[in-house]
A = this chain, B = another copy of it.
Amino acid sequence: MSEVRDKAAQAKAAAQIMNRLTTEQKNEALLAMANALVAQQASIISANTADIDRGRANGTSESLLDRLTLTPDRILGIAEGLRQVVELADPVGLTLESFERPNGLRVEKISVPLGVIGMIYEARPNVTVDAAGLCLKTGNAVVLRGGSAALESNRRIVEVLREALADTALPPDALQLIEAPSRASVDEMLKLNGLLDVVIPRGGASLIRNVVENATVPVIETGAGICHTFVDESAAYDMAADIAFNAKVQRPSVCNSMETLLVHESFASKHLRALADRFLAANVELRGCERTRALLPEAALASDTDFATEYNDYIMNIRIVDDLDQALRHIASFGTMHSECIVTENEENAASFLQRVDAAAVYHNASTRFTDGFQFGYGAEIGISTQKLHARGPMGLPALTSTKFRVYGSGQIRG
């Protein structure tokens, strides 16, 4: 049996214990995990140093190495994250529906764990702990497949966490790490119907595309975000500029940042020059449509490919539109149904935008950067779903549950 299948089977066996644990038992286990991370930080940092050294020898960029690096402070922060998950309400075991049928059957719809969750993700080792904490809190077993750049760190972290679980009611086999760094191990995970109940990819566009295109296990697609801010004719200049600037510049590398600014032509003729100067001062490269370039000669011409690109960088497209309808058509053509914003003082246009744009989150007069489980007050985030099934937008703990009907009878048969 392969490592992947073997570990998934162990996780599945553990899942049958997981779904019977009490909230208290799960919380005790999470606290034990948090304590163990802090107690064992020296060995974790030593493993992490091996990853960093190998990365540096392989020419990994310093910014990526920084994201990969664990320090005592960062480990404290990661452990604190686990303790915060302890504080969250347990979404398992809730009665979501309850009714009695005319024949006397009593039906209850109960929230239950999903079962075994496969997580496929990249570099940062903090995701290993986050994902473990969220999956275990919700009564699931989890099979983690992190990036090879963090393999030594992940291996030691999971070892520490499993050792901590050995003294709790939570079976250590509920937490599995795939150590084979080959792409084949990902491909094998994607086909483990019957062992994995869902696969959640977290990472760049190519990782997610591979999962969506090759998985036969159900997938929760996350991440890709080509987000727009539409500045309408009636927008207040300062608000529009602040929101657009925040959406692009506050953290360009994330999925809820803006890639394309859509500007109503009459707003553009008055304000685009000043607005653009603010982005240029922050070293944002501008690419624009022909009408944009008439006002901003320094902008490169934006192609349809540019409009369809998630830059995750200090690059921004600008398109001048005739009206709301043209903005809506652009978003329908190029958006990824993640987060979309209208800045306007016109309530009718705002209502129309919020109604007609098909996206996980639609904003009136606020930055798209708020699409986030913590910003929404969920206290956790597994990822941001960009599909429409099961969960859409920021996913908190309930996104890691399914349901089950319990039916109580007294001998009923169907006529």
Contacts and interface: CB of A to CB of B under 8 A. Distances in A.
Contact of A413 (B20, B243, B354, B402): B243
Contact of A364 (B355, B369, B407): B407
B403 A393 contact: yes
**Range of interface residues on chain A?**
35 or more
A279 B388 CA distance: 45
Interface string A300-332: 000000000000000000000000000000001
A100 to B, nearest CB: 10
A363 B407 contact: yes
Residue from A213, A361, A363, A388 having most chain B Cβ neighbours under 10 A = A388
A290 interface: no
Contacts of A393: 403-405
What 7 pairs between A and B have smallest CB-CB spacing? A366-B409, A246-B413, A388-B402, A390-B390, A369-B414, A361-B405, A389-B390
Interface in A365-415: 365-367, 369-371, 375-377, 387-390, 392-394, 402-414
A183 interface: no
A363 B376 CA distance: 38
A234 interface: no
Given A388-B197, A411-B239, A107 B355 contact: no
Contact of A362 (B394, B402, B407): B407
Interface of A: 16, 19-20, 99, 101, 105, 107, 112, 114-115, 193, 197-198, 212-213, 216, 218-221, 236, 239, 242-243, 245-246, 250, 332, 354-356, 358-367, 369-371, 375-377, 387-390, 392-394, 402-414
Contacts of A404: 358-362, 392-393
A20 B356 contact: yes
Nearest to A415: B250
A212 to B, nearest CB: 6
A262 B406 CA distance: 19
A144 to B, nearest CB: 19
Nearest to A242: B413
Contact of A376 (B101, B198, B403): B101
19 contacts: A16-B356, A99-B377, A101-B375, A114-B389, A198-B389, A218-B387, A218-B388, A243-B413, A362-B407, A363-B409, A364-B407, A365-B408, A366-B413, A371-B405, A375-B414, A388-B402, A392-B402, A392-B404, A393-B404
A366 B362 CA distance: 46
A412 B356 contact: no
B376 A402 contact: no
A372 B195 CA distance: 26
A370 B250 contact: no
A230 to B, nearest CB: 14
A115 to B, nearest CB: 6
B369 A389 contact: no
A206 to B, nearest CB: 15
